[in-house]
């Protein structure tokens, strides 16, 4: 065989073209995600800005008989009622906060406890059965939990313990959101505890520590970054949850009085958005419609900050083991 040095080892142009094409295609797919983020921010910001400038420059259309021309002061009104140019966003933020606190109060002990049990106590057989069941719980759509909160938790728990509560209340919604976040906390925490090296457990046991002491003084502190991440992710999820609050807290008609009482009806940022878009109010002003985007922007920024924070904690777990 006498190879021609000129042509030997030369690339096949067709094959090279194909390789470049494939690379370009998959790169485009990856870049699409950046485009999506830009589109999300753009769709929020444009109308959110229109909303703020609309407040600063009142027109004849945005004049309310009772309160006079709109201004930025409308943002601190004591209720959320876009129809009447009442944009008390504090009402929604406090509503979101209440729901989140209630949800975390339920989900933190249950989720962490379940994670500890599965990671430290359960034998392989129990784990094999229980983990898929928790995953089923994680797969239940939020609209189902919304129905459950409205039709079961509220009448059978909340109204029994607090007879003064109405059928729709923030407490029932918070508990429903809590149920939603339990599997999230459980699975992230269990991953964090599973990544704690067994050598640490053995070292503790070798010093005569019982399992409880080992778990509380050795495993949990070693896994703390992951546990914090789990809780932050859960908070972010709870703030962003829509349907449970939309159904169970009484946000329909898109108006809510300011309240810090969990037994009252109320709304959250998410529920207000869904309620606004539900089309029960077709004659809404442009300013009122744009308020939806303003709320969405506030929500997006809050959850983004929480997610970035959680990401840092997750990465700290990866670095340490």
Partner 1 sequence: MAVTSPLLDKKTADRVRAELETGGKDRGELIFKTMIGATLAFALLVLGILLFDVITGSWPVFSERFGSFVSRGTRTSAEETGIFQGLRGTFWIGVFVVVVTFPIGIAAAVYLEEYAADNWLTRVISINIRNLAGVPSVVYGILGFTVFVGLLKGIYGDVAFSQGNTIMAGGLTLAVLALPVVVITSSEAIRAVPSTLREAAYGVGATKSEVIRSHVIPYAAPGILTGTLLSLARALGEAAPLILVGAVQGKLGPKSGFFELGQLGEKFTAMPIVITHFASQPGDDWQPVASAAIVVLLLVVLSFNAVAVLLRNRFEAKRER
Partner 2 sequence: MTEQSSSRIDQSAAVAGYASALDVEPKGPTVMNLDQVSVYYGDFRAVRDVTMPVYEHEITAMIGPSGCGKSTVLRSLNRMNDLIPTARVEGSISYMGVDLYGPNVDPVEVRRRIGMVFQKPNPFPKSIRENITYGPKIAGIAKSEWPALVESSLRSAAIWDEVKDRLDDSALGLSGGQQQRLCIARAIATKPDVLLMDEPCSALDPIATGRIEDLMQQLKDEYSIVIVTHNMQQAARVSDHCAFFTTEVDADSERRTGQLVEFSETTRIFSNPSDERTENYVTGRFG
What, of partner 2, partner 1, none, does residue 5 touch, CB below 5 to 8 Å by kind? Answer: partner 2
Q: What is the DSSP string of 143-200?
A: HHHHHHIIIIIIIIIIHHH-TT--SS-HHHHHHHHHHHHHHHHHHHHHHHHHTS-HHH
- Name residue 257's beta-bridge partners: 79
**CA–CA gap between residue 265 and residue 78 (Å, rounded):** 15
Q: Does 15 bind partner 2 (CB under 8 A)?
A: yes
Q: Does 16 bind partner 2 (CB under 8 A)?
A: yes
Q: Strand pairing of 86-87 and 256-257?
A: unpaired
Closest separation in Å from C-beta 213 to partner 1? 9
Query: In the window 85-114, what residues touch partner 1 (CB under 8 A)?
Result: 109-114
Tell me whether residue 203 or residue 212 sits nearer to partner 1 (CB atom): 212
Tell me whether residue 21 or residue 76 sits nearer to partner 1 (CB atom): 21
Q: Which helix (H) or strand (E) holds 63?
A: strand 63-64
**Secondary structure of residue 69 in the 3-state scheme:** strand
Q: What are phi and psi of 86, to 5 degrees?
A: -100, 105
Nearest of 153, 305, 291, 170 to residue 241 by alpha carbon: 170
What, of partner 2, partner 1, none, does residue 193 touch, CB below 5 to 8 Å by kind? Answer: none
What, of partner 1, partner 2, none, does residue 279 touch, CB below 5 to 8 Å by kind? Answer: partner 1
Tell me whether residue 3 or residue 206 sits nearer to partner 2 (CB atom): 3
Task: Output Rg (C-alpha) for the chain, integer angstroms.
Answer: 26
Where does this chain touch partner 2 (CB under 8 A) — which range of 9-17, 228-236, 247-255, 283-291? 9-17
Closest separation in Å from C-beta 67 to partner 1? 28
Tell me whether residue 1 or residue 124 sits nearer to partner 2 (CB atom): 1
Where does this chain touch partner 1 (CB under 8 A) — which range of 53-61, 97-105, 142-150, 190-198? 142-150
Q: Are the C-beta atoms of 118 and 186 separated by less than 8 Å?
A: yes
What Cα–Cα distance (Å) separates residue 169 from each residue in 41, 77, 181? 32, 21, 19
Q: Does 10 bind partner 2 (CB under 8 A)?
A: yes
Query: In the window 233-252, what residues touch partner 1 (CB under 8 A)?
Result: 233, 236-237, 239-243, 246-247, 252
Q: Does 3 bind partner 2 (CB under 8 A)?
A: yes
Tell me whether residue 12 or residue 319 sits nearer to partner 2 (CB atom): 12
Tell me whether residue 63 or residue 143 sits nearer to partner 1 (CB atom): 143
Query: In the window 11-70, what residues touch partner 1 (CB under 8 A)?
Result: 15, 18-19, 22-23, 25-34, 36-37, 39-40, 42-44, 46-47
**CA–CA gap between residue 223 and residue 63 (Å, rounded):** 56
Q: Are the C-beta atoms of 181 and 280 separated by less than 8 Å?
A: no
What, of partner 2, partner 1, none, does residue 10 touch, CB below 5 to 8 Å by kind? Answer: partner 2
Residue appearing with tokens 């003084």 = 217
Q: Does 300 bind partner 1 (CB under 8 A)?
A: yes
- Name residue 86's beta-bridge partners: 81
Closest separation in Å from C-beta 30 to partner 2? 17
**CA–CA gap between residue 210 and residue 218 (Å, rounded):** 11
**CA–CA gap between residue 182 and residue 115 (Å, rounded):** 10
Tell me whether residue 21 or residue 57 sits nearer to partner 2 (CB atom): 21
Tell me whether residue 3 or residue 163 sits nearer to partner 2 (CB atom): 3
HSE toward the beta carbon, residue 223, CA cutoff 13 A: 28
Q: Which residues bind partner 2 (CB under 8 A)?
A: 3, 5, 8-12, 15-16
């Amino acid at each position: 065989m006498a190879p021609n040095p000129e042509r030997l080892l030369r690339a096949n142009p067709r094959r090279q073209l194909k390789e470049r094409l494939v690379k370009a295609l998959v790169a485009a797919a990856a870049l699409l995600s950046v485009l999506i983020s830009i589109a999300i921010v753009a769709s929020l910001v444009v109308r959110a800005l229109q909303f703020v400038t609309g407040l600063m420059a009142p027109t004849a259309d945005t004049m309310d008989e009772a309160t006079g021309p709109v201004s930025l002061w409308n943002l601190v009104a004591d209720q959320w009622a876009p129809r009447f140019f009442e944009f008390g966003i504090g009402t929604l933020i406090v509503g979101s906060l209440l729901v989140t606190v209630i949800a975390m109060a339920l989900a933190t002990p249950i989720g962490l406890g379940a994670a500890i049990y599965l990671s430290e106590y359960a034998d392989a057989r129990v784990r094999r059965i229980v983990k898929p069941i928790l995953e089923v719980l994680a797969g239940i759509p939020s609209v189902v939990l919304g129905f459950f909160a409205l039709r079961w938790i509220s009448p059978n728990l909340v109204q029994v313990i607090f007879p003064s509560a109405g059928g729709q209340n923030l407490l029932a919604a918070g508990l429903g959101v809590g149920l939603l976040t339990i599997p999230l906390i459980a699975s992230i925490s269990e991953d964090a505890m599973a990544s704690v090296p067994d050598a640490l457990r053995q070292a503790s046991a070798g010093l005569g520590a019982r399992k409880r002491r080992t778990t509380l003084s050795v495993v949990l502190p070693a896994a703390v970054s992951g546990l914090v991440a789990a809780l932050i992710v859960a908070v972010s999820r709870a703030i962003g949850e829509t349907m449970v609050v939309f159904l169970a807290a009484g946000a329909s008609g898109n108006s809510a009085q300011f309240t810090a009482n969990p037994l009252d009806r109320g709304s959250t940022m998410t529920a207000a958005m869904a309620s606004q878009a539900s089309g029960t109010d077709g004659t809404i002003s442009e300013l009122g419609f744009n308020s939806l985007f303003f709320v969405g922007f506030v929500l997006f920024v809050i959850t983004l900050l929480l997610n970035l924070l959680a990401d840092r904690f997750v990465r700290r777990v990866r670095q340490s083991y």
